[in-house]
Amino acid sequence: MAAADELFSEHGVDGVSNTEIAQRAGCSIGSFYRFFPNKEELVVEYVNRYLTALASNLPTLPDKIDFPQLVDVVSVLIDRSVAAYLQFPGFRQVRTWRYKDGRLASEITRNSELALITDLFYRSPYDLPSELVERMSVVIVDGTWPLLAGLVDIAPKDRPAMIAEIKFSVTSYIDARLKMELE
């Protein structure tokens, strides 16, 4: 998988062949096809590993969480997203790849990311309308992803400042929306 990640990062999913991935991994093409009968199966496994990395180490949440906890949990979620993006630098390229059925890989990951954020809002003590929860979740996921994806290209010494800015933007947005709704 590391070989696929490197090549996806360098050339995109369509810019690399299964043979090149097998060569970079140091295995025969026959061995490669034993595990991944086609590129789509490889991408599915790659996306699953990314989602596992994203969801790993998230705190165990109580049934209800108050606002300070919500901000903390969103902050942890952003930290996990950063770790996942940095662990899978080729993921930026994978997100734009289409499966045979026409779906983008990003649709799969976006739905999982939205489910994580939406769950956080539903655990808050506020009786938020589902339409608001969904809108806020979409803004957070769609607004945060491009910034996180850009971290791969930023010098490691500059990343903490960008991560802090992302967290500030997201938590400020949540705070403002909740205040509007609760007034």
Give the pLDDT of the chain (183 residues) as one tens digit per residue.
899 999 998 998 999 999 999 999 999 999 999 999 998 999 989 988 888 887 775 656 666 666 666 777 777 777 777 777 788 888 878 877 888 888 787 787 788 888 877 887 777 776 778 888 888 888 878 877 777 777 777 888 988 888 888 888 887 887 787 777 766
- Residue 90: its pLDDT value, please? 84
In angstroms, the CA 19 to CA 36 distance is 12
- H-helix or E-strand spanning residue 81: helix 67-87
Give bridge partners of residue 98 from the DSSP assignment. 104
pLDDT given for residue 63 in this prediction: 67
As a whole number of angstroms, the distance between CA 77 and CA 83 comes to: 10
Supply the pLDDT for residue 37: 92
pLDDT at position 147: 75
Query: What pLDDT, on a 0 to 100 scale, did the predictor assign at position 16?
Result: 94
Amino acid at 115: A
Q: How many Cα atoms within 13 Å fall on the side-chain side of residue 119?
A: 15
Q: Are 132 and 181 in contact (CB under 8 A)?
A: yes
